[in-house]
Amino acid sequence: MKNMKSKSGLISAQAGSLGESQKGSAALIMILALSILVLIPVAMQVSSTSRSQSQFQLASSQADNAARAGLVDAIAWFRRQPGQPVHQTGGQTFPDQAFAPQANSNPLLNDTLDPTVGIVKEYALSDTSELWVRYEVRKQSDTASNAVDVHAVHDITDKRMENHSAGDGLAWYIESSGYVYAKRDPAKAFNEAPNVVKAHARASTEIMRVSVQLPALAALSVNDVNTVTFKGSPKIRGGSSVGLAYHDGVPLAALAPSTVSGSPAFDEIASAIDPKNIFGMSPRELKVLADISVSTFSEMPYSYTGHKTYPDMALVFIDGNAKFDSGRQLIGGGILFVNGDLSITAGSLCNFSGIIYVDGNLSVSPGSVISGAVVVKGSVYMDGTQAAEINYDESIVNSVRNQLAQYRENRSTYYNFSGAKLTQ
């Protein structure tokens, strides 16, 4: 009897435990269900936020690209103007008025969609999207009656170039604004409802014009003619221009006429050689404008069989001594500025067309031909036991001026500012 009661009690206890367990499981399921219901909106919100953030990043990147495109367009505008440099003329009342983009029905001649603003361009991101891209490079209002707009294009020649004034047009500040916006009503302005700006970015830079004013129209220009030394019979040919121009000293009879020729063979220059007088700026300023700029000659690329690494037409700045040889050959052209000594060995196979400026001393070995003009601040040594020539060529000098002595971007002054959060 006792056993039966014990078993009955055990069964009752087990049934009670089972009931409690079932109740606990149901409660747990209910809690989980409620948690899921609570988390669904959170997950949806996180997903929406992530999607919005992704859309903003994409729109912001597109706005950045638009702002950069505006800078490229503005620099191209300055370069293609027929009157160089672009500067204040008699018909303009203030210096910054020189930046005046024009609208034209011919797409090839059209600078802008809105000449009252400056350079303005727009384009659709795709055929199926309402999103459009716009960039603006603003011109100044008349500064005779308005304060200078620091965000609009303005002349900074007086702040960047020694012995020059604002209005000379040798240095300009350019700022561009890029927008991505939803174009919902073409009749309204891009930032006027129902159109909505999705993202906005700004970018700015400075451009400076490189001048090329040789000390003389001569094959070779030096400070002191008595620091020029020849071995053998190198050739300095001026043709219808000067052969060798100098500031100090008296030409030695041994230098002419078989070695130095021209009309005249020798001529004096009024001022000592100074790179600022030639290029219109200091070496430091020229360095940041160069197409290729190296702090040491070892950074120059090597040449190898069948290929040239020196460019055909470029502004190259070497900040220090340079030695061209069979590993680094001087075969190319443009402007070569050496802020130190320049040595051209026989193995360099030198064949250069353009302008070479050497702030130190120049040494030229046999087998070298330079066409254009050479300017040396220090001494000159030329070994002419075999062919070694410097020939003045006006057409090459003019070609260098036309292609390289133009507005160049000061890459050290580029800035990018992104902003404007995404809107719906």
Q: Say which range, 28-37, 76-85, 271-280, has the weakest mean pLDDT.
A: 28-37
Q: Say which range, 270-274, 284-288, 298-302, has the weakest mean pLDDT.
A: 298-302
pLDDT at 292 (0 to 100): 93
* Distance separating alpha carbons of residues 369 and 384, to the nearest angstrom: 11
Handedness of CA 408, 414, 112, 132 (dihedral sign): positive
Handedness of CA 64, 70, 76, 78 (dihedral sign): negative
| Residue that is written with structure tokens 């350019």 in the block | 174
The helix or strand, by DSSP H or E, that contains position 16, with its residue range, turns out to be helix 2-80
* Distance separating alpha carbons of residues 297 and 307, to the nearest angstrom: 19
Q: Are 257 and 282 in contact (CB under 8 A)?
A: no
Q: Which residues contact 269 (CB under 8 A, 6 or more apart)?
A: 215, 216, 221, 245, 246, 247
Collapse the DSSP code of 131 into the 3-class scheme (helix H, G, I; strand E, B; otherwise coil) and give the result.
Answer: strand
pLDDT at 44 (0 to 100): 55
pLDDT at 162 (0 to 100): 78
User: What is the C-alpha end-to-end distance of the chain, expressed in Å?
Assistant: 81
Q: Both tokens of residue 248?
A: 């100090």
Helices marked H in 377-419: 394-404
Q: Calculate the average pLDDT of the chain.
A: 86
Q: Say which range, 13-22, 53-62, 138-147, 407-416, has the weakest mean pLDDT.
A: 13-22
> Regarding predicted confidence, which is higher, 39 or 326?
326
Identify any residues that bridge with 209 across adjacent strands, giving them in sequence order. 407
pLDDT at 41 (0 to 100): 60
pLDDT at 16 (0 to 100): 54
Q: Both tokens of residue 385?
A: 């036991």
Q: Both tokens of residue 346?
A: 């026989």
* Distance separating alpha carbons of residues 423 and 196, to the nearest angstrom: 7
* Distance separating alpha carbons of residues 249 and 246, to the nearest angstrom: 8
State mean pLDDT over 196-205: 94
Q: What single-letter DSSP state applies at residue 211? A: P
Q: What single-letter DSSP state applies at residue 145? A: T
pLDDT at 34 (0 to 100): 62
pLDDT band at residue 52, thresholds of 50, 70 and 90?
low
Smallest CA-to-CA distance from 154 within 120, 121, 118 is with 118
Percent of the chain beyond pLDDT 90?
Answer: 59
Percent of the chain beyond pLDDT 70?
Answer: 82
Q: Both tokens of residue 356?
A: 């070479």
E strand residue ranges, 210-259: 218-224, 228-232, 235-237, 242-248
pLDDT at 92 (0 to 100): 76
* Distance separating alpha carbons of residues 334 and 216, to the nearest angstrom: 18
Q: Has residue 263 got a pLDDT over 90?
A: yes
Smallest CA-to-CA distance from 415 within 238, 236, 176, 211 is with 176
pLDDT band at residue 202, thresholds of 50, 70 and 90?
very high
pLDDT band at residue 411, thresholds of 50, 70 and 90?
confident
> Regarding predicted confidence, which is higher, 45 or 297?
297
Task: Compute φ and ψ for 276, nearest 5 degrees.
Answer: -65, -35
Q: Both tokens of residue 275?
A: 């790179």
Q: Has residue 87 got a pLDDT over 70?
A: yes
Q: Has residue 348 got a pLDDT over 70?
A: yes
State mean pLDDT over 52-76: 85
**What pairing do the DSSP bridges indicate for beta strands 171-182 and 196-209?**
antiparallel
Per this entry, what is the length of the chain? Answer: 424
State mean pLDDT over 260-272: 94
Q: Has residue 325 got a pLDDT over 50?
A: yes
> Regarding predicted confidence, which is higher, 41 or 69?
69
Smallest CA-to-CA distance from 340 within 298, 401, 302 is with 298
Q: Has residue 421 got a pLDDT over 50?
A: no
pLDDT at 315 (0 to 100): 96
pLDDT at 90 (0 to 100): 74
Rounded to two decimals, the pTM is 0.77
In tens, the pLDDT along 358-399 reads 999 999 999 999 999 999 999 999 998 888 999 999 999 999
State mean pLDDT over 75-97: 86
Identify any residues that bridge with 343 across adjacent strands, giving them in sequence order. 323, 363
pLDDT band at residue 252, thresholds of 50, 70 and 90?
confident
pLDDT at 190 (0 to 100): 95
Task: Compute φ and ψ for 78, nearest 5 degrees.
Answer: -60, -40
| Residue that is written with structure tokens 């040919």 in the block | 237
Q: Has residue 173 got a pLDDT over 70?
A: yes
pLDDT at 273 (0 to 100): 96
* Distance separating alpha carbons of residues 422 and 119, to the nearest angstrom: 25
pLDDT at 347 (0 to 100): 79
pLDDT at 39 (0 to 100): 60
Helices marked H in 81-171: 157-160
Neighbours of 71 (CB within 10 A): 23
Q: Could you give the maximum distance between any two Cα atoms of the chain, in Å?
A: 146
